[in-house]
Amino acid sequence: MDILEGLLHGLEVALSVQNLLFVLLGVTVGMMVGVLPGLGPAPTVALLIPLTFTLDGPTAIILLAGVYYGAMYGGTITSVLLRIPGEAASVVSTMDGHAMARQGQAGKALGLAAIGSFAGGLFATACLILFSPTLADFALGFGSPEYAVLALLGLFLVAYTSAGTTLKSLVAIGIGLLVASVGPDPITASPRWTLGVPDLLGGFEIVAIIMGVFGLSELLVNITESRRPTSVTRTIGRVLPTGRDIADSAGAVGRGSVIGTALGLIPGGGGVLASLVSYGVERRVSKQPEEFGSGVPQAVSGPETANNAASISTFIPLLTLGFPPNGVLAVIFGALLIQGVTPGPELIGDHPDIFWGVVVSMVIGNLVLLVMNIPLLPVFVKIAQIPPGTMATITVAILVIGAYSINGNPFDVAVMIGAGLVGYLLRKLGIPPAPLVLAFILGPIFETNFRRSLVVSDGNITVFASSPVAVALLVVLGVVIVTAVTGRLWRMRSARPGHAGEERARRLP
């Protein structure tokens, strides 16, 4: 089945009345989940798994996928209006997005985010259509060395692009790697660092970690600093951006689409890494980087485009390689297994209704989000009118219920609370919490594939350069490291007393 035949088949599947209703249900639930701070798509998708037992394969995945990419935009709303990221991927929007809201430009920020998310979603879906069949054929030659280098590249990228200094990002990454080491050894399965606690035998639950690090820690910051999470103007201003606004953000949207689509392929990447990298890129290409954090539109449109593009492109490794790159896709991986479908290179040929039906539904879902969100954006300003005490109570209730609903285990609630306290401490020390979560995801992927590669090669380190793909990834990794080091040395040189005078003297005739 070629691409055109696949798309026509996907249209037939996605345009059925049942699947159209579940597209609408999925993106609506996703958007509302994104609006509610601390909940996020992963536990919601997990909660909806029992509902899929009575659905056929395409409908089940269409619903769960809609919740995921719908939550990417929903998280923007609370990030802009409340400075609380409803979804981890929207954490960077709390900076410039909320700053724009304080300036009476909340509508502009949310409108640009909606348009960027739509553009990023379409671009990533086009890449999913064009490249997935080829990648599925190529997947059989992709092994542990390539996955190990990919994970290592992701760690270096997040350290290089995160807010704050690289050293502080490395501290957060170190904590994340340490936390990720708790649980079964990936090779021998023997328990590590469990301290005799049975609930630690499987390691920490990633969703509970994310809820605590992002949701609870932000709530604690608001409470301890007596900062109203609803400190935004009561009016959001013009929602539909002007032509000039769109033109000014076109470059950021284009870069965000490419960055998000590319980083969605990286194990552990997804929307969080994509938005962080996009923000870092926009700050570096800007002629006025010092203004970032004070309400720069490109700092909203770029990351929001990237996180939505990444939420779509994460399906590429899942559907073609059988590899879930993040927690949400791991849940969807389980949903596919429940349907009797094994994700991997054979999925496109064996289950074209699932692959092509889901792909076409993503186009429809992104269009629904754009049409539904821009006219209804003024409604969400009512969230900002909730009293701080009420908001705190609601947020805590959602966090506790969400953490408990993951496995029905009170221990996950305790993990969420502990992660929240750690995240709060990191914030007070000026250490960005996002790298911790990314390292928690990427760490086991790197360790498993690194050690597996060494076992297979009898300890020969050259195994990581044994294929053209691995070599190419190592080259990219080297470029990232060299860029980071030279950039640091240049900034240190520029900060030296008398450096500015030396530069002026060289320019004199």
Beta-carbon contacts of 482 under 8 Å, excluding residues fewer than 6 positions away, are none
Higher-confidence position of 86 and 354 = 354
Q: Left, alpha or beta for 496 (phi > 0: left; psi -120 to 50: alpha)?
A: beta
In a domain, 29, yes or no: yes
Q: How many Cα atoms sit within 13 Å of 192 on the Cβ side? A: 15
Domain count, the chain: 1
Domain membership flag for residue 172: yes
- What whole-number distance in Å separates Cα of residue 403 and Cα of residue 499? 53
- In this predicted structure, the answer to whether residue 363 has a pLDDT above a threshold of 90 is yes
Give the DSSP letter of residue 16. Answer: S
Instruction: Flag whether 240 is in a domain.
Output: yes
Please provide the DSSP assignment of 156-199 as one string.
Answer: HHHHHHSSS-HHHHHHHHHHHHHHHTSEE-TTT--EES-TT-GG
* pLDDT of res. 269: 61
Whether residue 390 is predicted with pLDDT greater than 80 in this model: the reply is no
Q: Which of 178-192, 261-275, 325-339 has the highest mean pLDDT?
A: 178-192
Residue 503 CA to chain centroid, in angstroms? 41
**Separation between Cα atoms, residue 76 and residue 71, nearest integer Å:** 9
Contact of 70 with 27, CB cutoff 8 Å: yes
| Model confidence pLDDT, tens digit, residues 29-80 | 888 777 766 566 776 776 677 778 788 889 999 999 999 888 887 778 877 8
For residue 500, being part of any structural domain is answered with no
Residue 282 CA to chain centroid, in angstroms? 17
- Any idea what DSSP says for residue 323? -
> What is the DSSP track for 371-439?
HHHHHHGGGGGGGGGS-HHHHHHHHHHHHHHHHHHHHT-HHHHHHHHHHHHHHHHHHHTT--SHHHHHH
Is residue 19 within 8 A of residue 62, CB to CB? The reply is yes
CA-wise closest residue to 325 among 275, 279, 273, 361 = 273
Q: Residue 114 is inside which H or E element, if any?
A: helix 106-138
Does any domain span residue 332? yes
Mean pLDDT, rounded, for 447-452: 91
Q: Which of 311-315, 321-325, 477-481 has the lowest mean pLDDT?
A: 321-325
> Nearest to residue 83, comparing CAs of 403, 375, 388, 370?
388
Residue 48 lies in a domain: yes
| Per-residue confidence (pLDDT) for residue 317, from 0 to 100 | 81
183 in a structural domain: yes
Helix (H) / strand (E) containing 251 = helix 243-263
* Least confident range of 78-87, 243-252, 433-442, 448-457: 78-87
Q: DSSP string spanning 456-498?
A: HTTT-GGGGGSSHHHHHHHHHHHHHHHHHHHHHHHHHHHTSTT
Q: Indicate whether 147 belongs to any domain.
A: yes
184 lies in which domain range? 3-495
pTM above 0.85, yes or no: no
Alpha carbons within 13 A on the beta-carbon side of 212: 24
Q: Is 265 strand, coil or helix?
A: coil
If one counts every other C-beta atom within 10 angstroms of the C-beta of residue 483, the result is 11
Least confident of 232-241, 330-339, 454-463: 232-241
Q: Are 113 and 93 in contact (CB under 8 A)?
A: yes
Higher pLDDT, 258 or 273: 258
pLDDT score of 356:
93
More confident residue, 289 or 449: 449
With cut-offs at 50, 70 and 90, classify the pLDDT of residue 196.
confident
Task: Determine the distance from the C-alpha atom of residue 188 to the mean position of all C-alpha atoms in its chain, rounded to a whole number.
Answer: 31
Judged against a pLDDT cut of 80, whether residue 379 lies above it is answered with no
Q: Which residues contact 154 (CB under 8 A, 6 or more apart)?
A: 266, 267, 268, 269, 273, 438, 442
> What's the pLDDT at 467?
84
Residues in the chain: 509
Q: CA gyration radius for the chain?
A: 22
Contact 288, 308 (CB under 8 A): no
The pairing of strands 183-184 and 191-192 is: antiparallel
